[in-house]
Structure 1
Amino acid sequence: MSVLPLVFTSGWASGINAYAVVLLFGVFGATGLTDEVPASLQRTDVLVAAAVLFLCEAVADKIPYVDSIWDSVHTVIRPIAGAVVGALLAGQNGSLPELAAGAVGGSTALLSHFVKAGTRMAVNTSPEPFSNIALSLAEDLGVAAIVTFAVFHPVAAAVIAAALLLAGLAIVVFLAQQIRRFWRRRSQRREEKRLRAPGARPRVHAPPDDGSDHF
């Protein structure tokens, strides 16, 4: 059976929480639940490092604005992790070239990372921290559930991951539009308030410079 569905799902999950993906695959392989996991992901040092980094992300991901900083740092890390995991899975299975698997895993991870980061930026506009905690827990549980499901039902899990990715992209686009409208209306209200103040004058914008010299 082709490893492509598993690569796609692992890429999607890596864009959300790469350390959880490495940890889960490593544990599943080490415990004998699946033969699809290469030995390099089952090494003790890899599992320990993934577990420590997962705990760090579990904390940072639930703190407003810290989560966005963490996401910025992982803009490169998550796609690379998705590509590496995809290539390793393909190398273990042999049904897909490792380069192609790496491209699929990395690009999918990049897209899901942008969905995660964009959603978090929108959520951070809310003053209360509970939405961050709830969203982070949902992401952690979702990644764990989908990756576990993918080990036993890779095609069905890939379909779910694709649907979640498309839905996430649509939500991010919608939220971006709403945020732009909010800031535009806020700017207009500030300008109207300024104009109503005594002695206020409309702001005059300088005409664009056409580059010509006047003598």
Structure 2
Amino acid sequence: MGLIELLGLAGSVSLLSGWRLYATVLITGLAMRSGWVPLPEQLQMLDVLANPWVLGIAAFGAVMEFLADKIMWLDSIWDAIHSLIRPIGGALLALAIVDPGDPTWQVIAFLLGGGAAFAAHAGKASARAAVNTSPEPVSNLMVSTAEDVATAGLLALAIANPVIAGVIALGLLILSIVLIAFVGRTVKRFFRRTRGPDPT
């Protein structure tokens, strides 16, 4: 696996950690345990994901996240709790993918992986908070299901073709940043309207 493929894999896994950390760890670990992902020498550190204890904890977390993400406002509480956990998870996964013999690349991977996971998490949390303002629960369920499908699909693509997955992950990262900016402007406008005109 060359540098471009490693970057694509690291970027995809980091971004997906910002959406579904536990599912990302679980699917990657199962792929390694079943032999779908033959690990090159520099990725042997990721073999820990195939450990039965890690898989069990990831499976439990994935089920809890799946259920919490389908319930209006509980999803936002879950996102708030994971505001630190997801970026750290994304950073550690990206760190595990790069060559351990190159400290420079390790620092770069850790910073970019954590940044990508945080941006994806913030974009997801912002979008879901906006969706939660809708009085009906169907839109929340639809968005959550779309995130589940996108996570599984992009992770499968990252395993099969890391370069294409990396390009898609970059596009989704840009979309996440745009979402954060859009929701931020919308919230500011909302608070300006509710405050009313300045009495002075």
TM-score by length of 1: 0.81
| Other-structure match for 1:156 | 164
| Other-structure match for 1:74 | 82
Gaps of 5+ in 2: none
Larger helix proportion of the pair = 2
Q: 3-state DSSP class of the match of 2:84?
A: helix
Residues 65, 93 of structure 1: alpha-carbon distance in 2 compared, 3 angstrom cutoff: farther
Q: 3-state DSSP class of the match of 1:97?
A: helix
Write the distance in 1 (CA, Å) between the matches of 2:107 and 2:189.
Answer: 42
Write the distance in 2 (CA, Å) between the matches of 1:48 and 1:92.
Answer: 27
**Pairs within 5 Å for 1:1-215:** 1-2=2-3, 3-36=6-39, 38-91=46-99, 97-188=105-196
Conserved 8 A contact 2:122-2:176: no
Q: What amino acid is the match of 1:147?
A: L
What is the Cα-based RMSD across aligned positions, in Å?
2.3
Write the distance in 1 (CA, Å) between the matches of 2:151 and 2:110.
Answer: 19
Write the distance in 2 (CA, Å) between the matches of 1:104 and 1:183.
Answer: 33
Q: What amino acid is the match of 1:137?
A: T
Write the distance in 1 (CA, Å) between the matches of 2:29 and 2:184.
Answer: 37
Which one has a bigger Cα radius of gyration?
1
Identity of aligned residues (%): 36
Gaps of 5+ in 1: 192-202, 206-215
TM-score by length of 2: 0.87
Q: How many residues align?
A: 192
- The C-alpha deviation readout for 1:33-91, integer Å capped at 9, x for no partner, is 11236220100110111011000000111111111111111010001110111122225
Write the distance in 2 (CA, Å) between the matches of 1:81 and 1:109.
Answer: 8
Deviation for aligned residue 1:133: 0.9
